[in-house]
């Protein structure tokens, strides 16, 4: 998987929030085989450099850090947070979140496009958390984004893929754009389904962090994503309305 010119062997991106302990987070990251870990930035980190122990733990794992603008509710707020993240983490990568609804955590797609255009013009490599809307996707690409991250379901809901038709359509319309399912994945089977639809990767957090055994769950997701991608590349058979015998009739013995 190639993201902004960076070739990655793992198609799993992992969040770093809500783990029982830093040690559990580190073990889960290792078990997942991920090469990209997302981290959220709080405003106080910019001035006081707080949380450096946490950032050091992430860097010591040898993964690429993908800062995000979690908790931002306007384009201005997201852009400011992104610039602070670039100063702290010394990376042009940013996962752009602009939340529009407090209950569903659905993106505000209007401010999202506005913020994406400003950040891309400022040299950022933007990973926008968006919906499965084709028009919004096209506007984000026009703004300069080269990766899209549509949601599967509301953040933390664990519902899987709520709109399979919309996601399949998005994949068909943008065959050459890296598409990563972000949010709503709850089980390894959900990740398999996303990969079988032809998506390039999956970003998840809660499904691993809140599992009874986060390390085992991280490993399970790693295997699920590999299996789903392999299944997609093998070109699975098309579904049929009627049965079709797997045993040929030719050569069958007939009783008189």
Binding residues for 1-deoxy-D-xylulose 5-phosphate: 156, 183-184, 205-206
Cβ-proximal residues to 171 (8 Å cutoff; 6+ apart), any chain:
179, 197, 198, 199
95 is catalytic: yes
DSSP state for residue 93 in the 8-state scheme? E
Q: Which residues are annotated as a binding site?
A: 156, 183-184, 205-206
Best CA proximity match to 158, nearest among 193, 182, 194, 184? 184
Best CA proximity match to 130, nearest among 90, 83, 167? 167
Identify any residues that bridge with 129 across adjacent strands, giving them in sequence order: 149
Q: Which of 11, 86, 95, 190 is catalytic?
A: 95
Q: Which pair of structure tokens corresponds to residue 149?
A: 């991250």
CA distances from 186 to 49, 238, 243 (A): 33, 26, 32
Best CA proximity match to 143, nearest among 119, 159, 172? 119
Q: How far apart are CA 25 and CA 23, in angstroms?
A: 5
Cβ-proximal residues to 77 (8 Å cutoff; 6+ apart), any chain:
69, 98
Q: Are 46 and 88 in contact (CB under 8 A)?
A: yes
Dihedral sign, CA of 241, 247, 248, 250?
Answer: negative
Buried/exposed code over 154-177 (b: 16+ C-beta within 10 A; e: otherwise): bbbbbebbebeeebeebbeeeeeb
- Catalytically active residues are 95
């Amino acid at each position: 998987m190639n993201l902004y010119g960076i070739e990655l062997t793992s198609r799993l991106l992992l969040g770093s929030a809500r783990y029982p302990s830093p040690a559990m987070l580190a073990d889960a990251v290792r078990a997942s085989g991920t090469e990209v870990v997302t981290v959220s930035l709080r405003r106080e980190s910019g001035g006081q450099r707080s949380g450096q122990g946490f950032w050091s733990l992430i860097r010591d794992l040898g993964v690429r850090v993908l800062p995000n603008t979690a908790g931002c509710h306007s384009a201005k707020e997201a852009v400011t947070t992104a610039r602070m993240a670039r100063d702290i983490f010394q990376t042009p990568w940013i996962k752009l979140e602009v939340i529009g609804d407090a209950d569903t955590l659905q993106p505000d797609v209007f401010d999202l496009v506005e913020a994406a255009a400003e950040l891309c013009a400022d040299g950022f490599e933007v990973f926008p958390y968006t919906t499965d809307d084709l028009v919004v996707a096209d506007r984000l690409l026009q703004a300069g984004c080269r990766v899209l991250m549509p949601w599967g379901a509301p953040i933390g809901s664990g519902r899987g893929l709520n709109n399979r038709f919309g996601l399949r359509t998005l994949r068909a319309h943008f065959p050459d754009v890296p598409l990563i399912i972000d949010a709503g994945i709850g089980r390894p089977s959900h990740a398999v389904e996303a990969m079988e639809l032809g998506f390039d990767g999956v970003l998840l957090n809660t499904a691993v962090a809140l599992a009874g055994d986060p390390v085992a769950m991280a490993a399970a997701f790693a295997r699920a994503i590999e299996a789903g991608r392999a299944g997609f590349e093998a070109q699975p058979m098309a579904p049929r309305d009627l049965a079709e015998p797997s045993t040929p009739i030719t050569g069958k013995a007939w009783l008189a």
